[in-house]
Amino acid sequence: MFSSILLAIFPIFLGTVQALTAPVVARQSTANSCPIVWTEISTTLTQLFLAEGQCTDAARAAIRAAFHDCFNGACDGSLILANECSNTENRGLVRLCDSLGSLARDKGVGVADLIQFAAAHAIRTCPGGPAVPVSIGRKDSNVASPMGILPSPFAPATALIDLFASKGFSVTELVALIGAHSTARQFSVNASLSGAPLDSSPGRWDTQFYAETKSGRAPFTLPADKALAESSAGSELFELFAESRAAWASAFVPAMVKLSVMGVYGDLVDCSEALPGGTWSRKVRREADGDRREHSPKQVGGLL
């Protein structure tokens, strides 16, 4: 079921059960600095995630993997360490899981941390992608999370909304997260259209997913995304995010951070500086470029 969507589903997620059930939540430590190994890892991930100025299938898989590691339990690396990747609901992730598992071993870092770092890196690597703060210090687990919790690509809007609410995510957070389908392709929801993107620019992080899903112009639309776009709770949010990249980013970034620490407790170390574009000047330049693309009709037209 849900598995089918290669990367894409991830956006729907979740978050926060832990905030509801535990008094102690993950907190950022200011005492420690990010280990230099994360800068080396970042260099390796850029080679995997960026090709010809666009983000790659591996980047798409990394974004989806972050959701799949966390939403059915905690962000604990069990996606890889308990081989959840071989489950049908994670179809399409095996190669990425192998790559990240090897990289974690080679570099001596935690798998749960690497999965979340890779997702933040991938989002940043997709042209137009926001800087999502990422921290390190999760505990790994080799105990598999239950199957059947991840959202189905065929879910009705009310089921999606209820599922996310049960994990502590609002409708706004749900709709913001699902925008990660901006860079997604589907492989098995309709196998005869395997590889079909969910918007016309799957190599870029942009708002076309919202506009095209709402209008029915996307190359492929998941039934669940269509249902959410047409629902009374989701419709206006699709319109808002289609119109405003800034509104989407300001909803997406905190929702993604929340997702990335589901079920995570204790002190974490901020490693955002190890992400690409992590220096102030590069960040500003990239954002300026993104704004130009977003607001220039000529350049936007060129993308279509």
Ligand X SMILES: *[C@@H]1O[C@H](CO)[C@@H](O)[C@H](O)[C@H]1NC(C)=O
Stretch that binds ligand X, among 107-115, 116-124, 150-158, 185-193 (CB under 6 A): 185-193
DSSP string of 246-278? HHHHHHHHHHHHHHHTTT--SEEEE-GGGSTT-
Q: The sheet that has 27-29: what strands, in order across it?
A: 27-29, 267-270, 135-136
Q: Classify residue 224 as exposed, middle or buried by CB count within 10 Å of its CB (0-12, 13-18, 19+).
A: buried
Phi-psi region of 233 (alpha: psi -120 to 50; beta: other; left: phi over 0): alpha
Report if residue 190 touches ligand X, rule: CB under 6 A: yes
Residue 289 annotated as part of some ligand binding site:
no
Report if residue 216 touches ligand X, rule: CB under 6 A: no
CA dist 111 and 293 (Å) reads 35
153/179 with CB nearer ligand X: 153
Residue 106 annotated as part of some ligand binding site:
no
Q: What's the closest the beta carbon of residue 220 comes to ligand X, in angstroms? A: 8
φ/ψ of residue 217, rounded to 5: -95, 0
Report if residue 193 touches ligand X, rule: CB under 6 A: yes
Report if residue 232 touches ligand X, rule: CB under 6 A: no
Q: What's the closest the beta carbon of residue 187 comes to ligand X, in angstroms? A: 12
153/263 with CB nearer ligand X: 153
Report if residue 188 touches ligand X, rule: CB under 6 A: no
Residue 199 annotated as part of some ligand binding site:
yes
Helices in 71-110 by DSSP H: which ranges? 78-81, 94-107
Catalytic residues: 68
Residues that bind ligand X in the complex, under the rule CB under 6 A: 190, 192-193
Bind-site residues for Ca(2+): 69, 76, 78, 182, 199, 206
